[in-house]
Amino acid sequence: MYFTHVGELTNFKELPLDDASKAWSGAIENYELIEKNGVVTLTVKMDIVEKHLDYFQNNFPKGLEVVKKLAEEKMLDVVAIVNASVEKIWSYWTEPKHIMIWNNASPDWHTPRAENDLRVGGKFLSRMEAKDGSFGFDFNGIYDDVKINQLISYKIDGGRKVKITFEKIDDQTKVTELFEAETENSFELQQGGWQAILNNFKKYVEGN
């Protein structure tokens, strides 16, 4: 992947170049992936202005380590931008009375019961069932980290990791779920199912 920096955006609108942005406008950033014997090497080359050199030398390797960790753990992510405050979103995400309404990937499924002990070491459970009674299962786990209006991290049965972040963007909130994939179903099927539930959450929050 190869691209050239042009300028800055605010609210998706390009800003005129000023003295600061002119200093780095035209800088090149290049990402190269080379696979050999099942191992992929990611090499990054970029132009940088002198005052930012130390920052990128210190922090860019940390970011690449995160990419390496996520890739090796087979993590997937789903994202939604919700037109609501982070406080409202946190409430709707964590309170069982709301979970029971939005927690389904399609209209023929529902969550008739939900429990949530929202604290580090606390447990949660959502009973997910087909409405015709043909199938059902418990989705449950234990919380590793909870930061109100910011972060939820937990492990579900089997030890798979899930992390949800809540990021305020003006009057909206970006909800990102990062989850460790299981091996029985394809990545595409898993990501589609988790995204459908998140989309349903967005629809519910914005409609209430």
Contacts of 109 by beta carbon, 8 Å cutoff, 6+ apart = 128, 129, 130, 131
* C-alpha dist (Å) from residue 65 to 1, 28, 59, 62: 19, 22, 10, 5
pLDDT in tens, 142-200: 999 999 999 999 999 788 999 999 999 999 999 999 998 888 888 889 999 999 999 99
Task: Looking at the structure, give the CATH architecture of the domain made up of residues 76-206.
Answer: 2-Layer Sandwich (3.30)
8 A C-beta contact, residue 69 and residue 63: no
d(CA 148, CA 144) in angstroms, rounded, equals 13
Q: What is the rounded average pLDDT for all residues in the chain?
A: 90
- Read off the amino acid at residue 12: F
pLDDT at 9 over 90: no
**Domain boundaries along the sequence of the chain:** 2-73, 76-206
